[in-house]
Amino acid sequence: MLQPTHGAAGVLAAELVLLQYNVSLLSWEAAAGVLIGCVAGPLADIDKQGSIMAKIFFPVSALLRLLKIKHRTFTHSLAFLLVLGVLAIPMPPLYYWIFLAAYASHPLIDLFNEQGVRLLWPLKLKIRLLPRMIAVDTGSTAEMIFRWLLIAACVWLLLLDAGFAAFTF
């Protein structure tokens, strides 16, 4: 999936964690959380040359290239999520869970991609949730629709939290 799609998924993950913690989505705390989600969502693509994340965190992406870590492998795996879970322990709990949930949203939605993800890296097994025929191709119309659904869910949660009862079903 493309970076904006992962950004939207990261924001949605952040909003869900914030609501879980009973933090108003219209607070500064939430703004910081949404920002973390927005960066953590696309972060796994640091393994992809030329991606925004690879450019921002150049030393890390250069190291990954040096170690010959391929796209949608190590940084998209459960093993790496575990490593991050340990490294991020010093973060305050709210932001810790936002960071991890937003990061995890990345391999999760990549599972709908036709190329699949090596979620169980170092095992070679590629996991894909949808049959190739209906899988979401990177940059396709299906991905665009998927992204808009994610954005709609983000806006819906925001309105719901702001007390617009009309938006509840």
Asked if residue 98 lies in contact with residue 20, where contact means CB atoms within 8 angstroms, the answer is no
Nearer to Zn ion, 80 or 94 (CB): 80
Nearer to Zn ion, 36 or 117 (CB): 117
Torsion angle, alpha carbons of 82, 83, 89, 93, to 10: -40
Nearer to Zn ion, 142 or 160 (CB): 142
User: For Zn ion, which stretch binds (CB under 5 A), given 33-41, 93-101, 105-113, 149-157?
Assistant: 105-113
Interacting residues of 89 by C-beta distance below 8 A, sequence separation 6+? 96
Round to whole Å and give the CA distance between 55 and 74. Answer: 18
By beta-carbon distance, which residue lies closest to Zn ion? 45
| Rg of the chain, C-alpha, whole Å | 16
Which residue in the set 15, 110, 143, 161 belongs to the binding site for Zn ion (CB under 5 A)?
Answer: 110
User: For Zn ion, which stretch binds (CB under 5 A), given 17-25, 45-53, 123-131, 137-145?
Assistant: 45-53
In the complex, the residues that contact Zn ion under the rule CB under 5 A are 45, 110
